[in-house]
Amino acid sequence: MDIYPSMDELRSFFSNKRNIISLLGMGIIITALPLIISLVQKQQIFRSRAAAPPITFTGENVKDKTDGTKYFTLDKDGNPKVGLQLVSPFGLIPAPTTAPTTAPTTAPTTAPGTATGTITASTCTLGTVGGGADETHCKATINWSTTNTGTADVKYDRNDADVCTGGLVWNATNGPQSANWIDAIGYWFHLCVGNTHLAKVFVQGVASGGGSGSTTGTISASPNPTTNGSTTITWDAKGDGQVYVSIDGATDFLVWQNKTGTEVAPWINPGSSYEFKLYQGTSHQTVIARVTVTRQ
C-alpha cells in the first residue's frame, strides 16, 4: 500500500481554500510559539518584581504606623531628612563598560650624567732639591680626574672659602700637574665645573724630617713705650709674612709685607694703644707674634 498521496489527491487538497487557510494558520502558530513563550516568561518576571513597592522611604526619621503607613519626624536640626529607594521592574541597569584606556608608552627620558671628580696631592717637603724657589717652598703633584664633563678647572685659595671663585691654576678634565710654590701655610685646591664644586684637597709644605713648616716668628718694638711718638718695629716671620696694626682694638690693617724687616712707625699718639701683629704668609689668617706699643 502506498503511504504517499498521489498527485491527484494533492491537487484536490490544495484546490480547497479552507485547507490552505488551515495550513497558513498552523504555520503562523508554529512560528510565533517561541515568541509567545518568551513574552509569558517576561510577564511573570515583571509581576514578581512589581510585588515590591516601587518607592521605599528609608532613614532614621521614617517611622511606621500600626496600619502599615509611614510618617516622618524632624532631625535634631529641625529638618525632615528621609531617603528614597526606587525599584525598577526592569532591575538594575548595568553600568556601561568601556575598554580601559592605556596610556601611550614612551621611552623614559634619561637625564644627562652628572659631572663627578676626584683630586689628590702628593706630600711636599720644604727645601727639597728640584722643588720650590727656596727653602721655604716645595713642589707638590696635584692629580685629578673627572667624568661626564668636557671641561674642568682647578682653582686654589688659602682658607677654603673662595672654592670655585678662587685663582685659576689649570683648565683640564684630568691631571696631573706640578705646583712648585707650596709653602708651610699651604693651599686648598678645588676641582670645579663652572660654579659646581666637585672635590678639594689641601697641601702644605712640611719640614725635612716630617715636621710641619715653622709657624713661629718674632716681632718687637723699640723704644716701647715711646716718648716722642716714634718706634722701630723689627720682625722675622721665618718665611712669607705680613705686619698689621690695630689701633685701640679696631680692625687691623696692613702696614708692611716681607719675610723680615725693620721699619719706623712715627705716628704713635698719646692715649692710644697700637698692637702690631705678625701674620704668617699673605692670607691674613694666622698670627704668629704680636707686640703692643704705647706713648708716654
CATH number at residue 271: 2.60.40.10
Residues 170 and 233 in one domain: no
In a domain, 181, yes or no: yes
Domain membership of residue 20 as a residue range: 7-44
Q: For residue 175, what is its C-alpha cell?
A: 691631571
Residues 231 and 275 in one domain: yes
In a domain, 198, yes or no: yes
- Report the percent of the chain where pLDDT is more than 90: 28
Verdict on whether the full-model pTM lies above 0.85: no
In a domain, 213, yes or no: no
- Count of domains observed in the chain: 3
Q: Please give the average per-residue pLDDT across 153-167, as a whole number.
A: 84
Q: Please give the average per-residue pLDDT across 16-24, as a whole number.
A: 72
* Band of residue 193 on the pLDDT scale cut at 50, 70, 90: very high
* Band of residue 252 on the pLDDT scale cut at 50, 70, 90: very high
Q: Please give the average per-residue pLDDT across 122-137, as a whole number.
A: 68
Burial readout 238-255 (b: 16 or more C-beta within 10 A, e: otherwise): bbbbbbbbbeeeeebeee
In a domain, 158, yes or no: yes
In a domain, 96, yes or no: no
Out of 159, 182, 206, a domain closes at: 206
Residues 158 and 180 in one domain: yes
Average pLDDT along the chain: 78
Residues 123 and 186 in one domain: yes
Residues 167 and 197 in one domain: yes
Measured between alpha carbons, how far is 227 from 268 in angstroms, rounded to an integer?
9
